[in-house]
Structure 1
């Protein structure tokens, strides 16, 4: 099996989350796979800045929004975990209109 390449920023994120869990800032249940929503949020924001509506925003505005994004991510992963939808979920009760 080929070894999975982990980019350095992702490794730093994973280490930071592990340290948060080790010091009690993040519960063990909240730590589980928290790197993925964190990574997705940061990359979504990066896309808004590089190719989206924030690309022409002043740097000071983008920095403020970046800090707010990181704060929201931290608040989200540190909050009590909500009931999570687990896949696969039976969709027999869902009617799809065509």
Structure 2
């Protein structure tokens, strides 16, 4: 849905590729490679769990929307591309639980 901003697929893909190559090229055994990948995953989960938005979050979201095409931004509607008139932000409306 593009909330809070389109997923930067190019950044994610490049990061995963760099980490995969580093693990593949490391002179370690298969078990150690699996443990390295598991450790990377656990670190990512821990970072996400302890993330606390601050007063600059809105500015970050605005910047991500402005740069979404450059980094292969994707929403559920598809890739935010050159043929697209521009990123369509979802309305800023908190949905009610009841």
The bucket for the TM-score relative to the shorter chain is 0.3 to 0.5
TM-score norm. by structure 1 comes to: 0.37
TM-score norm. by structure 2 comes to: 0.37
